[in-house]
């Protein structure tokens, strides 16, 4: 079997398993098998796989056909132009979360060169914290997660990009570990409704940590707890940015108004035009 045949067969099988991105996923798995970038893969399409390479490709392909997410199979995922290690200790970073990162960066830059403190709540793989530290040199970031395994993963990603001196990792529930108020609270917390969990694709339901996605009966239970804690932990000129589900705009605004009666509150959309980030500015 040559590389072109392996790519075609892999894409066909992944498509039959229900993926809408079968060609891309087959390519990523084949590149991972052969340690090739995209250019060199397509330059070598007529090369034959060795028996060992074919066995490795088939083993990885079988994992994908069993609905394991490609990101977990490869062990990495791109987010905000950076490559992050991912494991089942944390949910896989998703493109829509980049909207939150962009909003935080814009707000931080309004401070000019002044130091800014940011709490990344529910840091998971550390994608938000590391991306912010990479772009905002004056930021001091506190990355919080209730899972020690997730914090270890986030710390490895911080070391990869040399930002460990500006990220402090704390284990705890939401904002409780904070010792002092911060300028910015950024949070990508669970917001899937519990009743919707069983209907999620098996790639999510059977492989990603439920604690990182299930937001309770209305999808807002964890975010509501964050908002209850936030007024005492946000500086008077600070802002909170929380990712929400695309049907949560109105309810999230109401919860925010209850917690921050005098603040400026809005919901920003992602690139698909869907409600995505609750923004509260003191």
Residue 189: the pLDDT is 97
Domain shared by 153 and 245, yes or no: yes
**110 or 126: which carries more pLDDT confidence?**
126
* Domain end residue (candidates: 66, 89, 121): 66
Percentage of residues of the chain with pLDDT beyond 90: 97
Average pLDDT along the chain:
96
* Domain end residue (candidates: 14, 39, 66): 66
Evaluate whether residue 71 is within a structural domain: no
Residue 126: the pLDDT is 98
Domain shared by 19 and 141, yes or no: no
Residue 194: the pLDDT is 95
The tally of domains found in the chain comes to 2
Tokens of 214: 């299930």
Provide the H-helix boundaries in 35-193. 38-43, 51-65, 70-74, 98-109, 127-135, 148-160
Evaluate whether residue 177 is within a structural domain: yes
Evaluate whether residue 145 is within a structural domain: yes
Evaluate whether residue 50 is within a structural domain: yes
Cα-Cα-Cα-Cα dihedral of 208, 278, 275, 257, to 10°? 120
Domain shared by 54 and 164, yes or no: no
CB 92 within 8 A of CB 85: no
Residue 160: the pLDDT is 97
Residue 54: give the domain boundaries.
Answer: 3-66
Is the predicted pLDDT of residue 112 greater than 80, yes or no? no
Evaluate whether residue 98 is within a structural domain: yes
**Hey, is 117 helix, strand or coil?**
strand
Determine the Cα angle at 76 with ends 93 and 197, to 5°: 40
Evaluate whether residue 230 is within a structural domain: yes
CATH code at 151?
3.40.50.150
Residue 167: the pLDDT is 98
Tokens of 5: 């045949």
Longest Cα–Cα distance in the chain: 67
Domain shared by 225 and 271, yes or no: yes
pTM of the full structure: 0.94
Residue 110: the pLDDT is 87
Domain shared by 51 and 165, yes or no: no
Domain shared by 217 and 191, yes or no: yes
Evaluate whether residue 74 is within a structural domain: no
Average pLDDT over residues 175-186: 97
Domain shared by 92 and 180, yes or no: yes
Is the predicted pLDDT of residue 111 greater than 90, yes or no? no
Domain shared by 56 and 160, yes or no: no
Is the predicted pLDDT of residue 257 greater than 90, yes or no? yes
Put the strands of the sheet holding 234-243 in their side by side order: 167-171, 139-145, 116-121, 182-187, 234-243, 275-281, 264-269
Residue 264: the pLDDT is 97
Domain shared by 176 and 255, yes or no: yes
Is the predicted pLDDT of residue 186 greater than 90, yes or no? yes
pLDDT, one tens digit per residue, over 194-238 is: 999 989 999 999 999 999 999 999 999 999 999 999 999 999 999
Domain shared by 91 and 18, yes or no: no
pLDDT, one tens digit per residue, over 85-95 is: 999 999 999 99
pLDDT, one tens digit per residue, over 17-72 is: 999 999 999 999 999 999 999 999 999 999 999 999 999 999 999 999 999 999 99
Domain shared by 107 and 44, yes or no: no
Is the predicted pLDDT of residue 97 greater than 90, yes or no? yes
Evaluate whether residue 132 is within a structural domain: yes
* Domain end residue (candidates: 32, 66, 100): 66
Residue 244: the pLDDT is 97
Domain shared by 85 and 44, yes or no: no
């Amino acid at each position: 079997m040559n590389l072109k045949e392996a790519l075609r067969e892999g894409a066909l099988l992944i498509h039959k398993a229900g993926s809408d991105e079968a060609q891309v996923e087959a390519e990523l798995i084949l590149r991972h098998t052969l340690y090739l970038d995209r250019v060199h893969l397509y330059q070598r399409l007529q090369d034959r796989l060795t028996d060992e390479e074919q066995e490795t490709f088939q083993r990885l392909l079988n994992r994908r056909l069993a609905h394991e997410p490609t990101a977990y199979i490869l062990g990495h995922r791109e987010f905000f132009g950076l490559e992050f290690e991912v494991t089942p200790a944390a949910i896989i970073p998703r493109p829509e979360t980049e909207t939150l990162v962009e909003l935080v960066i814009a707000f931080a830059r309004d401070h000019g060169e002044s130091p800014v403190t940011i709490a990344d709540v529910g840091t998971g793989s550390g994608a938000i914290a590391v991306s912010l530290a990479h772009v905002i040199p004056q930021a001091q970031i506190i990355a919080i997660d209730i899972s020690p395994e997730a914090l270890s993963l986030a710390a490895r990603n911080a070391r990869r990009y040399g930002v460990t001196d500006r990220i402090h990792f704390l284990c705890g529930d939401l904002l409780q570990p904070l010792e002092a108020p911060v300028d910015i609270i950024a949070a990508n917390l669970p917001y899937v409704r519990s009743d919707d969990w069983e209907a999620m694709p098996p790639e999510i339901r059977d492989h990603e940590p439920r604690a990182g996605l299930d937001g309770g009966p209305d999808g807002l239970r964890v975010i509501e707890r964050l908002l209850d804690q936030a007024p005492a932990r946000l500086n008077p000129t600070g802002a909170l940015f929380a990712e929400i589900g695309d049907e949560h705009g109105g309810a999230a605004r109401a919860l925010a108004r209850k917690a921050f009666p005098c603040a400026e509150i809005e919901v920003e959309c992602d690139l698909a035009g869907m409600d995505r980030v609750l923004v509260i500015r003191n």
